[in-house]
A = this chain, B = another copy of it.
Amino acid sequence: MSQSRHEERQQRLKDKVDARIEAAQIERGILLVFTGNGKGKTTAAFGTVCRTVGHGKKAAVVQFIKGSWDNGERELLEPHGVPFHVMATGFTWDTQNRETDTIACLETWYHAKQLLCDPKLDLVVLDELTYMVAYHYLSLDDVVNALKNRPESMSVIITGRACHKTLLELADTVTEMRPIKHAFDVGIKAQKGIDW
């Protein structure tokens, strides 16, 4: 491509981007959903926490599925003042008791609701919340109400597969992480620092 054609193309791109930036003037916290079956949902949520904290803003994390104790992002972010609340018992692939799972979920949600009222928080991550709604451990209405009544400046990220369509409708930004391929499928072990 010649330099002049390249310049024209870049100018058109720049004009488009500039027009979009000019048009976007509303300032408020947003609801982001990272869903789909691909890798990167929780990871993108933690990337955003990292961004928020790096700017000196306040974030909090609630994890609705118990991860490994040896959780890399927690080790890094907690000393930077990011509180983590992880469902202490309850839903993992190993537990199969609906009653105790529901109790653990509701206890965690109670904590999440308090965070969703705190005007000092710029970002709240509700990691793997989608499953709690899908499994009817948590009332959809209760989640919607808490999200709608949160402080205007607060952003929220919900992650997990099979997100309920009401939450997708409520969201400002939704990305579907589509798995094109996964190392795991060809026999590569999940790895510390990459997968957890």
With the chains together, A190 CA to B155 CA distance in Å?
12
Residue of B nearest to A155 (CB): B194
Q: Indicate if the CB atoms of B183 and A30 lie closer than 8 Å.
A: yes
With the chains together, A38 CA to B158 CA distance in Å?
16
Q: How many copies does the complex hold?
A: 2
Q: Indicate if the CB atoms of B52 and A194 lie closer than 8 Å.
A: yes
Chain A 1-56 interface residues, beta-carbon cutoff 8 Å to B: 1, 3, 6-7, 10-11, 13-14, 17-18, 20-21, 23-28, 30, 32, 34, 36, 38-55
Given A46-B50, A178-B36: A25 touches B189 (CB 8 Å cut-off): yes
Residue of B nearest to A57 (CB): B193
List, in ascending order, chain B residues with CB within 8 A of A21's CB: 190
Q: Indicate if the CB atoms of A3 and B98 lie closer than 8 Å.
A: yes
A-side interface residues toward B, CB under 8 Å? 1, 3, 6-7, 10-11, 13-14, 17-18, 20-21, 23-28, 30, 32, 34, 36, 38-55, 57, 70-77, 80, 93-99, 122-123, 155, 168, 171-184, 186-194, 196
